[in-house]
Chains A and B, each alone.
Chain A
Amino acid sequence: MQPSITASNLYKIFGRNPRRGVGLLEKGSSRQDLRDQGLTAAVIDASFEVSPGEIFVVMGLSGSGKSTLIRMVNGLLPPTHGEVTIMGDRVTAIPEKELRRIRRERVSMVFQHFALLPHRTVGENVAYGLAVRGMNRTEREERAERALAMVDLAGWGGYRPSELSGGMQQRVGLARALAAETDILLMDEAFSALDPLIRRGMQDQLIELQQKLDKTILFITHDLNEAMRLGDRIAMMRDGRIEQIGTAEQILNDPASNYVAQFVQDVDRTRVLTAGSIAEPPYAVLGTEQGPRTAHKLLRENQPSWLLVVRRDRTPAGIVWEDDVAAAVRDGRDDLPWSDVHEMPVVTHDTPMNELFGLSAQHRSPIVVVDDDGRVTGVIPRVTLLAAIGADGGAA
Chain B
Amino acid sequence: MIPLDTGFMPRIPLGRWAEDGIDWISDNLDWLLAAIKVGLGSANDLLVGALLAVPPLVMIILLAFIAWAARSWRMALGTVVALLLVMGLNQWDHAMETLGLVLIATVTAIILAIPLGIWAARSSTVSAITRPILDFMQTMPAFVYLIPTIIFFSVGVVPGLVSTVIFALPPGVRLTELGIRQVDRETVEAGQAFGASPGQILRGIQLPLAVPSIMAGINQVIMLALSMAVIAGMVGADGLGKEVVGALSTINTPRGVEAGLSIVVLAIYLDRVTAALGAPANHPRSLFRMISAARAKRAAASA
Q: A117-B190, A128-B190, A128-B191 are in contact. List 9 more A-B contacts (CB 8 A).
A: A71-B189, A112-B186, A113-B184, A113-B186, A115-B187, A117-B187, A117-B205, A132-B194, A157-B303
Given contacts A158-B299, A158-B300, is CB(A115)–CB(B186) below 8 Å? Answer: yes
What are 25 A-to-B residue pairs whose CB atoms are below 8 Å? A74-B193, A76-B189, A100-B195, A100-B197, A103-B192, A103-B193, A104-B194, A107-B193, A109-B190, A111-B186, A111-B190, A115-B184, A116-B187, A117-B190, A117-B204, A117-B205, A117-B208, A117-B209, A119-B209, A128-B191, A129-B194, A132-B196, A132-B200, A180-B194, A186-B193
Q: Does A300 contact B (CB under 8 A)?
A: no
**A128–B200 Cα gap in the complex (Å)?**
11
Q: Which residues of A contact B303 (CB under 8 A)?
A: 155, 157-158
Q: Does A333 contact B (CB under 8 A)?
A: no
A114-138 contacts to B (CB < 8 Å):
115-119, 128-129, 132-133
Q: Does A364 contact B (CB under 8 A)?
A: no
**A186–B187 Cα gap in the complex (Å)?**
15
**A77–B196 Cα gap in the complex (Å)?**
15
**A302–B209 Cα gap in the complex (Å)?**
76
Closest to B201 in A: A132
**A345–B183 Cα gap in the complex (Å)?**
59
**A109–B187 Cα gap in the complex (Å)?**
12
* Chain B interface, DSSP helix/strand/loop, else mixed: helix
Given contacts A117-B205, A119-B209, A158-B303, is CB(A101)–CB(B195) below 8 Å? Answer: yes
**A76–B190 Cα gap in the complex (Å)?**
10
What's the least CB distance linking A242 to chain B, in Å? 23
What's the least CB distance linking A175 to chain B, in Å? 13
**A180–B189 Cα gap in the complex (Å)?**
16
Q: Which residues of B contact A (CB under 8 A)?
A: 184, 186-187, 189-197, 200, 204-205, 208-209, 299-300, 303
10 closest A-B pairs by beta carbon, nearest first, are A104-B195, A129-B194, A115-B190, A103-B195, A109-B193, A115-B186, A100-B195, A132-B196, A115-B187, A119-B208
Q: Which residues of B contact A157 (CB under 8 A)?
A: 303
Q: Which residues of A contact B190 (CB under 8 A)?
A: 109, 111, 115-117, 128
Q: Which residues of B contact A186 (CB under 8 A)?
A: 193
**A113–B187 Cα gap in the complex (Å)?**
9
Q: Does A6 contact B (CB under 8 A)?
A: no
The size bracket of the interface on A is: 20 to 34
Q: Tell me whether B209 and A76 are in contact (CB under 8 A).
A: no
Closest to A132 in B: B196
Q: Does A80 contact B (CB under 8 A)?
A: no
**A128–B184 Cα gap in the complex (Å)?**
17
What's the least CB distance linking A144 to chain B, in Å? 13
Partner of A111, one of B189, B196, B200, B204: B189
Query: Which among A109, A112, A186 has the greatest number of chain B C-beta atoms within 10 A?
Result: A109
**A155–B303 Cα gap in the complex (Å)?**
8
Closest to A102 in B: B195
**A101–B194 Cα gap in the complex (Å)?**
9
Q: Tell me whether B196 and A76 are in contact (CB under 8 A).
A: no
Q: Which residues of A contact B (CB under 8 A)?
A: 71, 74, 76, 100-105, 107-109, 111-113, 115-119, 128-129, 132-133, 155, 157-159, 176, 180, 186
Q: Which residues of B contact A76 (CB under 8 A)?
A: 189, 192-193
**A116–B299 Cα gap in the complex (Å)?**
22
Query: Which among B187, B190, B208, B300 has the greatest number of chain A C-beta atoms within 10 A?
Result: B190
Closest to A99 in B: B195
Partner of B195, one of A115, A129, A158, A159: A129
Q: Which residues of B contact A117 (CB under 8 A)?
A: 187, 190, 204-205, 208-209
**A180–B196 Cα gap in the complex (Å)?**
13
What's the least CB distance linking B220 to chain A, in Å? 23
Q: Which residues of A contact B299 (CB under 8 A)?
A: 158
**A119–B280 Cα gap in the complex (Å)?**
13
What's the least CB distance linking A351 to chain B, in Å? 38
**A107–B208 Cα gap in the complex (Å)?**
26
**A116–B184 Cα gap in the complex (Å)?**
10
Query: Which among A107, A115, A118 has the greatest number of chain B C-beta atoms within 10 A?
Result: A115
Closest to A159 in B: B300
Q: Which residues of B contact A128 (CB under 8 A)?
A: 190-191, 194
Q: Which residues of B contact A109 (CB under 8 A)?
A: 189-190, 193-194
**A199–B192 Cα gap in the complex (Å)?**
26
**A70–B197 Cα gap in the complex (Å)?**
20
What's the least CB distance linking A99 to chain B, in Å? 8
Closest to B281 in A: A162
**A111–B186 Cα gap in the complex (Å)?**
7
Q: Which residues of B contact A107 (CB under 8 A)?
A: 193
**A155–B301 Cα gap in the complex (Å)?**
12
**A76–B189 Cα gap in the complex (Å)?**
7
**A112–B186 Cα gap in the complex (Å)?**
8
What's the least CB distance linking A197 to chain B, in Å? 24
**A25–B172 Cα gap in the complex (Å)?**
46
**A133–B197 Cα gap in the complex (Å)?**
10
Q: Which residues of B contact A133 (CB under 8 A)?
A: 195
Partner of B193, one of A108, A112, A158, A159: A108
What's the least CB distance linking B181 to chain A, in Å? 17
Q: Tell me whether B194 and A108 are in contact (CB under 8 A).
A: yes
What's the least CB distance linking A329 to chain B, in Å? 73
Q: Which residues of A contact B186 (CB under 8 A)?
A: 111-113, 115
**A107–B189 Cα gap in the complex (Å)?**
13
What's the least CB distance linking A52 to chain B, in Å? 20
**A117–B194 Cα gap in the complex (Å)?**
13
What's the least CB distance linking B7 to chain A, in Å? 46
**A115–B192 Cα gap in the complex (Å)?**
12
What's the least CB distance linking A92 to chain B, in Å? 15
**A108–B299 Cα gap in the complex (Å)?**
31
What's the least CB distance linking B197 to chain A, in Å? 6
